[in-house]
Amino acid sequence: MINPAAIQVLWLREMKRFLRAKSRIFGALAMPLFFLAFLGMGFRRMPVPGMEDGVGYILFLVPGILGMSLLFSSTFGGLSVLWDREFGFLKEIMVAPVSRISIVLGRIAGGVTTALIQGVLILCVSLLLGFRITSPLSLPLALVFMILISVTFLGLGLVFASKMRDMQGFSIVMNFVIFPLFFLSGAIYPLENLPVWLRILGYADPLTYGVDGLRGVLIGVSSLPVWLDLGIMLFFSLFMIALGAYFFEKSETL
């Protein structure tokens, strides 16, 4: 049975940890901002092959960098599970009279909130670099896509964290997972420019639909219909929540 109080407590704990770790905030923003500054400004006059005329590279790049930020911060959210296991906090909450699904939802809620904060900050900075949104009314739908991306990859991080015991090993393994997901998503170049076999792999990547959906709502240009991107991301997010909860339930945490 879901316990709202337990979810709120775990969410509040994640928020306090995030806001107290100033270096964590800076580190999470540094790499996306470097990508925006060097790629976005360096290629801002370059037309994007496969995209409509008038879509500059900075417009094309910003939704991809938002997706990258959400991917990295959400996937590495599983590291907090290993950290809590290492120092005994996980054992304490696992023996508490709350369901494990409540624990999973609490962690996901905290991870989604911190990822959204980072995403909104990156979006604000991108406006200073020349990015323009087609309509302010598109922002709520963009937030929905950001939430779905974050939930999907928080679930993925939880799956790996439930099966691993070593924090260093988790970081190494996740780097081998998230970089292919990032480069196959079309975040920094259109998927249409890739060979057919790589394009097929790209369309198996959940981030592809999140980035494409963000482009559709923020700049009005996307490879697929926005409603299709939204439906596929909703499916992936629900599937990864269920998968993460299953593996967390089966993990040997005590």
Residue 58: enclosing H or E segment and its boundaries?
helix 57-75
Q: State yes or no: pLDDT of 253 exceeds 50.
A: no
Share of the chain above pLDDT 70, in %: 81
Predicted local confidence at residue 41, as pLDDT:
67
The predicted model scores a pTM of 0.88
- Give me the pLDDT at residue 207, please: 94
The Cα 244–Cα 104 span in angstroms is: 8
- The number of beta carbons lying within 10 Å of the beta carbon of residue 226 is 18
All structural domains of the chain with their residue ranges: 4-250
Question: What is the average per-residue pLDDT within 7-13?
Answer: 81
pLDDT tens readout for residues 192-206: 888 888 889 999 999
Residue with tokens 């997972």, as numbered in its chain: 177
- Summarize pLDDT for 89-117 with one digit per residue, the tens: 666 666 666 777 777 888 888 888 988 98
139/158 Cα distance (integer angstroms): 28
